[in-house]
Amino acid sequence: MGAVPPPLVPGLLSMSYVILKDACEGVADCVPVCPVDCIHPGDGNNAKGTNFYFIDEAVCISCGACLAACPIDGAIEPD
């Protein structure tokens, strides 16, 4: 299971998360836990030959739900 992110500190700017295309295996456990629906399927396949997802950084609220849900260590990182 992925690492749990530190809690957000009110008043501080936070960065969105990013899914590393070639680390993502298309499991999609992150999609249903996202409260703002910012995770979408990518076009085609990645270098592993699997589906992949991406995070719309303009919509991401940096809640960390995706990071906690992702079973692939290192597939989601802070941007």
Q: For 43-70, write each residue's pLDDT tens digit.
A: 999 999 999 999 999 999 999 999 999 9
pTM listed for this prediction: 0.80
Q: Are 28 and 53 in contact (CB under 8 A)?
A: yes
Q: Does 21 fall in a domain? A: yes
Q: Does 45 fall in a domain? A: yes
Number of domains in the chain: 1
DSSP string, 3-71: PPPPPPPTTS--PPEEE-TTT--S--TTTTT-TT--EEEPSS--TTSS--EEE-TTT-----HHHHH--
What residues make up the domain containing 50? 14-79
Q: Does 57 fall in a domain? A: yes
Q: Name the percent of the chain lying above pLDDT 90.
A: 78
Q: Does 44 fall in a domain? A: yes
Token duo for residue 43: 């076009």
CATH, residue 38: 3.30.70.20
